[in-house]
Amino acid sequence: MKNVGNIKADIRNLSDVELQDLFNFIGEIMTLNSLSNNLPKDCRESRFSKGEICPHCNSDNIIKNGKLCGKQRYKCKTCGKTFNDFTKSALSYTKLSLETWIEYAKCMVLGYSIRKCADIVNICVKTSFYMRHKILDAVRMFMGIGNVEGVVEMDETFVAESFKGNHMKSGFVMPRPPRKRGKQVKKRGISNEQVCVATAIDRNNDLIIEMVCKGRVRHSDLERLYKGRISDNSIICTDSHKSYIQFATNLKLDHKRIMRGHYKNGIYHINHINSLHSKFKEWMLRFHGVSTKFLVNYLYWFKWLQNFSEDKEIIKNKNLLIHSTINFVDTKINNFKGRKPIFV
C-alpha cells in the first residue's frame, strides 16, 4: 500500500494531460463521497418536511428502534411496524450501495438506455430495468399530472403501441403480429396502433404530458385530462384540430386556433409545443421503441428532465434520488409483469 507521499512523488512525473485526467478523477470521487454522505440526511429532510410519519399508516407516533446495517430504524407505536428512512421509496429493499444508486441516477440524467446504464454501473440488465422503473414510479408520484395557466399551448403527439416485454409464457396473447423493432406503424394516418399523448405547456414552462387514448383524441379525452388543471381565464392555443373546439367550449376557455402555415399570431402561437414535440421524438429514438405499459414512466422522465434542465448536472443527480424517496410508493418487482398501460 503506497502512502500519500509516494503518490505525490509519482504525480510529479505525469504529463499535463495525465494531470488533468487525474484532477477530474479526484473531483468525481470527492463529489460522489460528499453526495453519498449527505444523501440520507437530505432525503430524510425532504421526505419528512412536514414532520416524521409512519410510511405504513401515516401515524406520527413513532420512536427510534436501534440500527440495522448502520441504518437507523424506527417503530410505529400505532401500527407496530418498523421502517427506515428509505422504506416505501425507490431505494427500499435494495442490496446495492448508495454509490451505485448515485451512479445510476447520473446515467438517467444523461438519458441512457437500460443496457448502457447496466454497462456503466456494472449491474445486470434486469437490475437496470428494475432500478429505472423504481425511480420513475417514484418520480411520477412526486411530480403528478400538474397544472397550467395563462397562455397555454396544446397539442397531441403519437407513439407506436408496443407489447415489448410482454411474455407469452405469462399468458399474454399478442393482439396482432409484432412489428419489427423501431419500424413505423403501417396504417396510414392515425390508427388505434398509436398511443395518443396529450401535451400542454404554459409560458412558465409548466408541462402536462399524459397518455390519453389510442388513436385520434376526442374532446372527452381532453376534458378528462385537463378539467380542473387549467386555471380560469386561461387562453389555449392549438392547431386546427376540431376536438379542441368542443373542449374549449365545454371548459369555457378562450381559444386561439393557429391555422397551418400561420404560425405567427403575436404572442398566440404554438411554437413552444411544436419544439417540445420535436425534442420528445428525438429523445425517444434512443430507446428503439418503448413498451406501452411503461410509456408513462418515460413521459415523466422526459418531463422531469425538461423541468430541471436549468440545474447543474450534480444537482440533478442528487435531486433525482431525493425526488425518488419523498413520496411513499410501493413498487414491487413482482408487479412489473402484470402491469397495464396507464391512461388518464
Q: Which of these ranges, 58-66, 98-106, 206-214, 256-264, lies near Zn ion under the rule CB under 5 A?
A: 58-66
Nearer to Zn ion, 53 or 305 (CB): 53
Going across the sheet that includes 82-84, the strands are 62-68, 71-76, 82-84
Nearer to Zn ion, 76 or 195 (CB): 76
CB neighbour list of residue 323: distance below 8 Å, 6 or more residues apart? 138, 139, 142, 143, 304
Nearer to Zn ion, 40 or 55 (CB): 55
Q: Which of these ranges, 70-78, 116-124, 159-167, 221-229, lies near Zn ion under the rule CB under 5 A?
A: 70-78
Is 315 among the residues that bind Zn ion (CB under 5 A)?
Answer: no
Nearer to Zn ion, 74 or 226 (CB): 74
- Angle ∠(265,158,201) on CA atoms, nearest 5: 40
Q: How far is the CB of 92 from Zn ion (least distance, A)?
A: 15
Is 59 among the residues that bind Zn ion (CB under 5 A)?
Answer: yes
Among 56, 179, 216, 224, binds Zn ion (CB under 5 A): 56
Task: Tell me the sheet residues that pair with 157.
Answer: 197
Is 52 among the residues that bind Zn ion (CB under 5 A)?
Answer: no
Q: Rounded to 5, what percent of the chain is helix, strand, coil?
A: 40, 15, 40
Using only C-alpha atoms, the chain has a radius of gyration, in whole angstroms, of 24
Q: How far is the CB of 327 from Zn ion (least distance, A)?
A: 16
Nearer to Zn ion, 59 or 231 (CB): 59
Phi/psi of residue 62, each to 5°? -125, 150
Nearer to Zn ion, 247 or 328 (CB): 328
Nearer to Zn ion, 4 or 63 (CB): 63
Q: How far is the CB of 40 from Zn ion (least distance, A)?
A: 21
Please report, as residue ranges, which positions from 72 to 91 form the binding site for Zn ion (by CB under 5 A).
76, 78-79
Rounded Cα distance, 19 and 321, in Å:
32
Q: How far is the CB of 93 from Zn ion (least distance, A)?
A: 18
- Angle ∠(135,103,26) on CA atoms, nearest 5: 155
Nearer to Zn ion, 56 or 218 (CB): 56
Q: How many residues lie near Zn ion (CB under 5 A)? A: 7
Q: Which DSSP state fits 199?
A: E
- The closest alpha carbon to 183, from 196, 193, 173, belongs to 193
Q: Which DSSP state fits 333?
A: G
Nearer to Zn ion, 54 or 109 (CB): 54
Q: Which of these ranges, 51-59, 173-181, 255-263, 332-340, lies near Zn ion under the rule CB under 5 A?
A: 51-59
Burial class (CB in 10 A: 0-12, 13-18, 19+), 44: middle
- The closest alpha carbon to 100, from 129, 128, 74, 77, belongs to 128
Amino acid identity for residue 198 in this structure: A
Among 43, 54, 290, 321, binds Zn ion (CB under 5 A): 54
Rounded Cα distance, 18 and 122, in Å:
25
Q: How far is the CB of 84 from Zn ion (least distance, A)?
A: 13
Report residue 337 as a C-alpha cell. 409483469
Burial class (CB in 10 A: 0-12, 13-18, 19+), 180: exposed
Q: How far is the CB of 53 from Zn ion (least distance, A)?
A: 8
Among 7, 57, 315, 333, binds Zn ion (CB under 5 A): 57
Q: How far is the CB of 55 from Zn ion (least distance, A)?
A: 8
Q: How far is the CB of 322 from Zn ion (least distance, A)?
A: 23
Residues near Zn ion (CB under 5 A) are 54, 56-57, 59, 76, 78-79
